[in-house]
Amino acid sequence: MPLSFVKAGFVAAACVFATSDARAEITFCNNFGRLIYVAIAYPQSGGSFLSRGWMSLDNGNCSVFDTALRVKTLYFRAESTWVRHG
């Protein structure tokens, strides 16, 4: 897995959370300029967390991560290969 991080603002993530039985859709879009990898984590009852990933996402593409997830809180992390500017 790549070791560097995608800085905030490079990955636009649109998350819609269900508070009832409505359909939840978590979509990630990559505007970084390079391939990225995305993982998610969310709390479970009892205080533990469940994590899922890694989904690869090419530059300029969007992808639905999960259509069946029903959570109120979601954390995500995106990484890329090392990028050096300058």
Would you list the domain boundaries of the chain?
4-80
| Other beta carbons within 10 Å of 24 | 18
User: Are 29 and 38 within 8 A, CB to CB?
Assistant: no
Alpha carbon of residue 35 to chain centroid: 13
The pLDDT of residue 6:
42
pLDDT value of residue 22: 53
Judged against a pLDDT cut of 60, whether residue 16 lies above it is answered with: no
Residue 14 has pLDDT above 50, yes or no: no
Whole-number percent of the chain with pLDDT over 70: 72
> Which of 20-24, 58-62, 64-68 has maximum average pLDDT?
58-62
Q: Are 10 and 53 in contact (CB under 8 A)?
A: no
| Rounded Cα distance, 29 and 78, in Å | 11
Give me 9's structure tokens.
């603002």
What SS3 class is residue 78? Answer: strand
- pTM for the predicted model, two decimal places: 0.65
